[in-house]
Amino acid sequence: MSSPVVTRFAPSPTGFLHIGGARTALFNWAFAKNQDGKMLLRIEDTDRERSTEEAVAAILEGLKWLGLEWDGAAVSQYSRVTRHREMAEELLKRGKAYYCYCTPAELDAMRAKAEAERRPIRYDGTWRDRDPSTAPAGIKPVVRFRAPQDGETVIQDHAQGRVVIPNKDLDDLIILRSDGNPTYNLSVVVDDHDMGVTHIIRGVDHLTNAARQMQIYMAMGWDVPSMTHVPLIHGPDGAKLSKRHGALGVEAYRAMGYLPAALRNYLARLGWSHGDDEIFSTEQLVEWFTLGGIGKSAARFDFAKLENLNGHYIRHTPDSELLLHFKSFLPHVEGGEALLEALTPELETKLLLSLPGLKERAKTLVELMASARYLFAKRPLSLDDKANALLNEEGKAALKGAHEVLAAAAEWSGPALEAAVKAHAEAAGMKLGKIAQPLRAALTGTSTSPGIFDVLEVLGPEESLGRIADQLKN
């Protein structure tokens, strides 16, 4: 039996969990789940200047919100620095690495020469075969990897296919700096090996690193994990993803009112496909996910598509579940905290009752919040400009008529009230809209809202008639 699948997500905590990172995490998670394996989490916090605790917290929070739980405790790469150093020593011992005593001035000269000769800048191997006993005094050496100079490094990549990198293009990489700190590629290899990672799935921007890392694996005599380098995410115009086009942290998507399930579905389709399927559940994603389904060309981020998908998810989420999402969303949006505080059990019942109507029109939880605001409003309502305009003389006259009809209603239900108001409009020779719009203004303080008879039913007779009477007083 082959060994169980172990994937890992390895973010650098130098900022939020951005959308590309979230997709990488999703692919690692879905593949691990599909294979009954594990997804580990490693925080690549070796850059002490740029790594922050807030960023670590934001990444963990973002993953949890997206429903991408990892297995075991998150590993801090920095905490493993001693082990990385040991492995640099081991490579030295095996003759697979060497001390390099080049001074900064020498390296500058090397760079300038390469530039003048229009060659790519590479370390020229000065100390590769030189006797360290000839080292100049007072220079703290770095440790460089003795990279193979001939032949090629071949990556059998699940997304990119067979990638061949001539070894002459890869110079002798520094693996330990002169201050004794290991460099990135060494740490990643040692960690992936020690964590038992069998499959590496990450952005295609790491492809060159992959070749260097493979060389280190081979020098250590370790098995090289399977590699999948996922294409980048571009903006809708095909250019690099900009903030305006979606290069934001996951928490921004949360605040924009997207549901985690919708975002999972959307992200899955950025670079991965299963036939023509566009809308699928997370269970289906897990069932269908294969590395072969990951494409080679860049994916395009499209907000309109995400919104539509989110609208679909909102409509299809059971009301009680949607209410929970809505409540956990509120603290993340401006003005949401106040609504959450105002949400008494009574109001919560009303909100739940109104959700079937509200969710038909909302593409995001932000829109849902806007259309549910009338429930939270306190009498006397303050009206927006459009609502005020609707309550001109003619509007008020219509509102007065409606008040009488509603006050006399025998049954307070949406359909019954609708029938009564329609009969009244017909008898008065008025179009229904001439009554419904002033009613909407008085009941919600706005000119747009869910179906006005739903609003009446949810608010109940006392509150509805009170709100209407408030406007008739002025």
3-class DSSP state of 170 = coil
Q: Which residues contact 401 (CB under 8 A, 6 or more apart)?
A: 424, 428, 435
Provide the mask over 75-94, with x wherever binding to ligand GLU is found by CB under 6 A and - wherever it is not. Answer: --------------------
Residue 28 CB burial class (10 angstroms; 0-12, 13-18, ≥19): buried
Could you give the count of Cα atoms lying within 13 Å of 411 in the half-sphere of its Cβ?
8
Cβ proximity to ligand GLU, 25 vs 142, nearer residue: 25
Contact 447, 387 (CB under 8 A): yes
Active-site option among 64, 168, 243, 396? 243
Strand-pair partners of 42: 75
Omega into 166 within 30° of 0, i.e. cis? Answer: no
Of 6-14, 109-117, 119-127, 296-304, the segment contacting ligand GLU by CB under 6 A is 6-14
**Which amino acid is located at 64 in the chain?**
K
| CB 267 to ligand GLU: min, Å | 16
CA distances from 374 to 258, 313, 453, 456, 467 (A): 22, 23, 14, 11, 11
H/E/C letters for each residue in 382-423?
Answer: CCCHHHHHHCCHHHHHHHHHHHHHHHCCCCCCHHHHHHHHHH
Write out the two tokens for 223: 């098995």
Site string for ligand GLU, 192-231 (x = CB under 6 A): ----------x---x-------------------------
SS3 at position 443:
helix
Q: Which stretch binds ligand GLU (CB under 6 A): 7-15, 333-341, 392-400, 422-430?
A: 7-15
Whether 327 sits among the annotated catalytic residues: the reply is: no
Residues 246 and 235: their CA atoms lie apart, in Å, by: 7
How distant, in Å, are the alpha carbons of 87, 201, 338, 371, 381 from that of 377? Answer: 65, 49, 12, 11, 6
Which span sits near ligand GLU by CB under 6 A: 8-16, 90-98, 131-139, 249-257?
A: 8-16
Residues 41-60 that bind ligand GLU (CB under 6 A): 44
* CB-closest chain residue to ligand GLU: 202
Residue closer to ligand GLU, measured from CB, 9 or 258: 9
* List 5, 6, 10, 259, residue binding ligand GLU (CB under 6 A): 10
Binding characters for ligand GLU, 173-192, by CB under 6 A (x = yes) = ---------------x----
At 272 the three-state DSSP class reads strand
* Residue 424 binds to ligand GLU (criterion: CB under 6 A): no
Q: Pattern 366-405, binding to ligand GLU, x per CB under 6 A?
A: ----------------------------------------
Q: Which residue's CB is nearer to ligand GLU, number 12 or number 388? A: 12
The residue among 55 and 314 lying less far from ligand GLU, judged by its C-beta, is 55
41 versus 458: smaller Cβ distance to ligand GLU: 41
Part in contact with ligand GLU (CB under 6 A); list of ranges 10-18, 159-167, 229-237, 359-367: 10-18
In the bound state with ligand GLU, the residue whose beta carbon lies nearer, of 206 and 325, is 206
Binding site for ligand GLU (CB under 6 A): 10-12, 44, 188, 202, 206
